Structure 1
Amino acid sequence: MSEPAAIGFIGLGVMGESICRNMLLKSGRRFRVFDLAEGPLARMRADGAEVAASVADIAATCDLIFLSLPGGPQVEAVVAGPGGLLEHGRAGQVVVDTSTAPVGLTRDLAARLAEKGVEMADAPVARTRQAAIDGTLSIMVGAEPDLFARLEPWLRHVASDVTRCGGIGCGQVVKILNNMVLFETVVALSEALALGEGAGVDRELLFDTLSKGSADSFALRNHGMKAMIPDNFPTGAFPTAYALKDVSYALDLAREMGIAAPGAALAETRMQVARDAGFAEEYFPVLARVADRA
């Protein structure tokens, strides 16, 4: 990919700020950033980024534009809404969406951008907030091979694993299923924790012993041991509200495919219970606190 005059980055939230910072510092390129919150804009300005006035400003000055947004509605607004990338985009630009968004929406927006000569790739990210800070994310990419080859060096600034999953939308498919499996595993861990403690087994001993057997998993070692065992579910990490959004995308995909997904439906139900108990903003493994509630 020829070097653009400036790199645009829209969305500096839980993951986006760290992704943008790693790209800026490792590439040495000029970055222009936009977000609705002043805090991350001020921090990125201190790191050397320029603050753009609007999405339209990014579209007017950047050839390569990254998005990191909470979900489908925000992606649709930035791309297709008033003052968005569809309105102000131009031929030759590339839009890379690192958000998690519905597959159908991603493919629709890509088709609409293509009519203006703008290429789009979906590149949702996986792993933890700390992985975003450390630059060790896993990124699942939906793009044609030539576009993937041009984008991969940029994605390597923030990820230790970058996988082309197929054409546009396929990155979203794999990311949504990744999260679906994670959520279902965390539900299983919450059940094991409630049952084990109820039967008189120490919670730390339980999970430590599970980690030595066939129940071992990334979820057990990270979400289980680091959050559920110490009962530590901070805000500012991946909250229950975001997890509910992502599991809804999995269930939407299942309905489109005509395939039952009862495990995902159970995960949605357990997270709804946690949300209704007042834990919408806490780190989503907080559902362990309500494992005994209907």
Structure 2
Amino acid sequence: MERIGFVGAGLMGEGMALSLLRAGHPVTVVAHRNRAPVERLVAEGAAEAADLAALAKASDVVHVCAPGSPQVEVIVEALLPHLAPGSIVVDCSTANPVSTVALAARLEAAGCAMADAPLGGTPAQAMEGKLSAMVGASEETFRRVEPILRRWADAGVEHVGPCGTGHRMKLLMNFLAMGYGAIYAEALALARKVDIAPARFDEVMRGSRMGCGFYETFMASAVHGQRDAHKFTLTNALKDTTYLAAMAEAAGLANPMGAAIRNSYAGAVNMGGDGAEDYVPHLADFVARANGLD
């Protein structure tokens, strides 16, 4: 069994690391700000490394779950001098593909490899090992990591193409998801302006052709007050739509819809207060207030 290092055992990473432990992999974790998940994993049999250097030395395959590319770059720089040749870094973050490809080249020069394997699913699915993953990697690297990824991605592992392609695919997926969120938020505000209660709007829409899993969790939070039903922050939404804009620019594509969606999240995040750490369905509150609704 490959020895697994896990950096970022947080909202999603804790469940992923737990699935790897339960499958019999030796797992080493490292603490950052929140020690509680690390302590729970240690209680399940994980080892705790003092720092990233120690984690690299104890691992054959290192998973990274970080907020974005700047953090991933810092983590890989710290791991790189201590990784044995043949080691693999699996970046499960939603990251900038340009950064991903550059990091992969640095790892390859050191005799290591990289796979980008961004996630699909929720924290609850992570705890059950039922996430999905879209993977960018060479054929050889994918063959080696696929059985490991399937320990926590029971819902499906798709090899999209070479390194960087997984992150490109994830940005396209989040473009659609954050677009849904921006449209739902405006629709709820407009419904109230024309005297249709949000709950009534939801009754009509739910189960129609316009409904989907994203719709259901968004409305569970925005309309029915279940704050944790859709746990993806406005900050992350802004980060991902910003990465998408950079990807579109590099490809020479006009991306007016992407710009409009990004501006919706930028406005909410920059309003101050708790906006940065609210979840995507709370965009509805910001749109409402901007339009004179309580």
TM over 0.5: yes
Q: Per-residue displacement from partner, 1:271-290 (whole Å, max 9, x unpaired)?
A: 12222332111112211001
Q: 2:207 aligns with which of 202, 212, 217?
A: 212
Matched letter for residue 183 of structure 1: M
Q: Is the 8 A contact 2:222 2:281 kept in 1?
A: yes
Q: Is the 8 A contact 1:235 1:282 kept in 2?
A: no
Number of aligned positions between the proteins: 286
Q: 2:88 aligns with which of 87, 94, 115?
A: 94
Structure 1 CA distance for aligned equivalents of residues 27 and 17 of structure 2: 9
Q: Is the 8 A contact 1:207 1:220 kept in 2?
A: no
Give the match for residue 168 of structure 1. Answer: 163
Q: 1:50 aligns with which of 43, 47, 51?
A: 47
Give the match for residue 287 of structure 1. Answer: 283
Structure 2 CA distance for aligned equivalents of residues 211 and 133 of structure 1: 27
* TM-score for both structures, normalised by structure 1: 0.92
Give the match for residue 193 of structure 1. Answer: 188
CA displacement at 1:35 relative to structure 2 = 2.5
Gaps of 5+ in 2: none
Q: Is the 8 A contact 1:123 1:140 kept in 2?
A: yes
Structure 2 CA distance for aligned equivalents of residues 230 and 173 of structure 1: 33
Structure 2 CA distance for aligned equivalents of residues 174 and 289 of structure 1: 30
Q: 1:13 aligns with which of 3, 10, 30?
A: 10
Q: Is the 8 A contact 2:68 2:94 kept in 1?
A: yes
Structure 2 CA distance for aligned equivalents of residues 137 and 62 of structure 1: 23
Give the match for residue 112 of structure 1. Answer: 106
Q: Is the 8 A contact 1:187 1:287 kept in 2?
A: yes
* TM-score for both structures, normalised by structure 2: 0.92
CA displacement at 1:234 relative to structure 2 = 4.6
CA displacement at 1:217 relative to structure 2 = 2.5
CA displacement at 1:197 relative to structure 2 = 2.2
Give the match for residue 252 of structure 1. Answer: 246
SS state of the match for residue 114, structure 2? strand
**More off after superposition, 138-147 vs 232-241:** 232-241
Q: Is 1:34 matched with 2:34?
A: no
Aligned CA distance change for structure 1 residues 130 and 258 (closer, same or farther; 3 Å): same
SS state of the match for residue 270, structure 2? helix
Structure 1 CA distance for aligned equivalents of residues 249 and 241 of structure 2: 12
**More off after superposition, 59-68 vs 232-241:** 232-241
Give the match for residue 233 of structure 2. Answer: 239
CA displacement at 1:145 relative to structure 2 = 2.2
**More off after superposition, 212-221 vs 29-38:** 212-221
Structure 2 CA distance for aligned equivalents of residues 263 and 122 of structure 1: 26
Give the match for residue 67 of structure 1. Answer: 64
Give the match for residue 129 of structure 2. Answer: 135
Structure 1 CA distance for aligned equivalents of residues 193 and 125 of structure 2: 34
Q: Per-residue displacement from partner, 1:41-100 (whole Å, max 9, x unpaired)?
A: 2111111101001110011121111111111111000112xxx12222221111111111
SS state of the match for residue 76, structure 2? helix
Gaps of 5+ in 1: none
Q: 1:76 aligns with which of 69, 73, 76?
A: 73
Q: Is the 8 A contact 1:16 1:69 kept in 2?
A: no
Q: What is the aligned-residue RMSD (CA, Å)?
A: 1.8
CA displacement at 1:236 relative to structure 2 = 10
CA displacement at 1:208 relative to structure 2 = 2.9
CA displacement at 1:148 relative to structure 2 = 1.5
Give the match for residue 152 of structure 1. Answer: 146
Aligned CA distance change for structure 1 residues 207 and 235 (closer, same or farther; 3 Å): closer
CA displacement at 1:235 relative to structure 2 = 11
SS state of the match for residue 180, structure 1? helix
